[in-house]
């Protein structure tokens, strides 16, 4: 198959492209060439800007386009309309963040979604926690409006693994590797949910090959996982003596530290709207072939990838060692 990727060079993108190439597909990458331009030297690259610079795509056709970087409906509208007559199907990578309410467990594809007015969406020029999900939903609608019945919308949960620039999972096995007491905001029984980017990529390509359309949640792991079980697996993989110290989020707030900046999965007890944000129903995707690799594989490969990064790479989440040491001392003294 001839596959066009809009983006394709950041995090999920390279996993998708690698999988498509391994399965014998012909790949074209369309992007500005600003991120990892040296990736895939033997793959055809078309340079342009998806926001007003799609002209280079007007002279060719593909079987499927896979859009990994659509955030604004006015921008996705451009690619959807232009490619409607040049592709058979449009795959749009959205997000479970589009759902309106997580106060009940088991959110499936029919759950209500967030909303912005057309005016708000058209004027949006930056992504925030409040508008990210609703904007993604409106992008989905632009795709379906231009290619009715010919779109595959994938709503992933938290995506993790090698190449993850967010450090949301990476921090924990790397922290366990360092050993000693580790501050964990929240409680041991907190639900943890994520999907390895490689599992997501492999499944999307197989869905493309099967000609699937419709909307699918895509989170994981295969069975419910708690924060404590997750941390203990980090310990096992790293063979460390690291020990989790669960602290009350208010303790961190009082010291101007957001608990979510350390533990992505923490949810406040009184935050009913997001109580079950880490309890997404993915039975539809699993029925159509979504599988999950063992957690130990994700952790080991993430550690290996992290070790390849420059030593001075600044973490986007987690506590610096000196800050954590000070907090641990204050926590003990308070106790």
pLDDT tens-place string over residues 79-129: 999 999 999 999 999 999 999 999 999 999 999 999 999 999 999 999 999
Co-location of 8 and 103 in the same domain = yes
Q: Please state whether 187 falls in left (phi above 0), alpha (psi between -120 and 50) or beta.
A: beta
31: domain CATH number? 3.40.50.720
Task: Write down the pLDDT at residue 163.
Answer: 97
pLDDT score of 298 more than 90:
yes
Q: What is the DSSP letter of 313?
A: P
Smallest CA-to-CA distance from 75 within 28, 14, 138 is with 138
pTM exceeds 0.95, yes or no: yes
Co-location of 114 and 137 in the same domain = yes
- pLDDT tens digits for 17-34? 999 999 999 999 999 999
Task: Write down the pLDDT at residue 308.
Answer: 97
Co-location of 319 and 189 in the same domain = yes
Co-location of 83 and 182 in the same domain = no
- How far, in Å, CA of 107 to CA of 99, rounded? 8
Q: Which two tokens stand for residue 258?
A: 């957001």
Co-location of 22 and 100 in the same domain = yes
Q: Is residue 71 part of a domain?
A: yes
Smallest CA-to-CA distance from 245 within 154, 136, 123, 330 is with 330
Co-location of 121 and 37 in the same domain = yes
Task: Write down the pLDDT at residue 200.
Answer: 98
Q: How confident is the model at residue 259 (pLDDT cuts 50, 70, 90)?
A: very high
Mean pLDDT of 273-283: 97
DSSP states of 141-154: HHHHHHSTT-EEEE
Domain with 250, as residue range(s), is: 171-193+222-274+296-334
The helix (run of H) or strand (run of E) holding residue 200 is: helix 197-209
pLDDT score of 335 more than 90:
no
Co-location of 148 and 237 in the same domain = no
Q: Please state whether 93 falls in left (phi above 0), alpha (psi between -120 and 50) or beta.
A: beta
Task: Write down the pLDDT at residue 274.
Answer: 96
Q: Is residue 138 part of a domain?
A: yes
- pLDDT tens digits for 41-58? 999 999 999 999 999 999
Q: Is residue 41 part of a domain?
A: yes
Co-location of 140 and 239 in the same domain = no
Q: Is residue 142 part of a domain?
A: yes
Q: Is residue 202 part of a domain?
A: no
Q: Which two tokens stand for residue 106?
A: 């088991």
- How far, in Å, CA of 180 to CA of 309, rounded? 23
Co-location of 65 and 91 in the same domain = yes
- pLDDT tens digits for 184-223? 999 999 999 999 999 999 999 999 999 999 999 999 999 9
Q: Is residue 211 part of a domain?
A: no
Q: What percent of the chain has pLDDT over 90?
A: 98
Mean pLDDT of 290-311: 97
Co-location of 129 and 177 in the same domain = no
| Residue after which a domain boundary falls, among 127, 156, 185 | 156
Q: Is residue 11 part of a domain?
A: yes
Q: What percent of the chain has pLDDT over 70?
A: 100
Q: Work out how many domains the chain is built from and give that number.
A: 2
Kindly tell me the sign of the dihedral angle through the C-alpha atoms of 46, 201, 104, 232. Answer: negative
- pLDDT tens digits for 127-166? 999 999 999 999 999 999 999 999 999 999 999 999 999 9
């Amino acid at each position: 198959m001839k596959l066009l990727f809009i983006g394709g060079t950041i995090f999920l993108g390279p996993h998708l492209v690698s999988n498509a190439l391994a399965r014998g597909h012909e790949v074209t990458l369309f992007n500005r060439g600003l991120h990892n331009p040296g990736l895939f030297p033997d793959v055809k690259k078309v340079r342009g800007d998806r926001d007003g610079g799609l002209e280079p795509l007007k002279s060719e056709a593909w079987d499927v386009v896979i859009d990994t970087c659509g955030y604004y409906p006015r921008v996705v509208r451009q690619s959807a309309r232009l490619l409607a007559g040049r592709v058979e199907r449009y795959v749009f990578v959205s997000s479970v963040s589009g759902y309106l309410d997580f106060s009940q467990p088991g959110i499936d594809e029919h759950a209500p979604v967030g909303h912005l007015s057309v005016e708000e969406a058209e004027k949006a020029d930056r992504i925030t926690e409040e508008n990210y999900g609703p904007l993604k939903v409106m992008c989905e609608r632009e795709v379906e409006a231009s290619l009715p019945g010919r779109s595959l919308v994938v709503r992933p949960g938290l995506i993790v693994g090698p190449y993850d620039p967010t450090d949301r999972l990476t921090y924990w096995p790397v922290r366990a590797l360092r050993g000693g007491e580790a501050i964990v905001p929240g409680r041991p029984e907190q639900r943890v949910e994520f999907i390895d980017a490689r599992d997501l990529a492999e499944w999307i390509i197989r869905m493309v090959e099967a000609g699937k359309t419709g909307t699918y949640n895509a989170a994981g792991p295969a069975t419910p996982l708690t924060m404590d079980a997750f941390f203990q697996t980090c310990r096992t993989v790293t063979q460390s003596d690291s020990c989790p110290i669960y602290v009350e989020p208010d303790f961190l707030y009082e010291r101007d530290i957001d608990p979510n900046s350390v533990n992505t999965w923490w949810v406040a007890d009184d935050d009913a709207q997001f109580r079950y944000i880490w309890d997404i129903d993915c039975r539809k995707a699993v029925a159509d072939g979504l599988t999950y690799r063992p957690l130990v594989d994700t952790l080991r490969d993430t550690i290996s990838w992290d070790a390849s990064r420059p030593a001075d790479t600044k973490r986007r989440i987690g506590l610096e060692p000196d800050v954590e040491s000070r907090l641990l001392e204050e926590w003990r003294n308070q106790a």
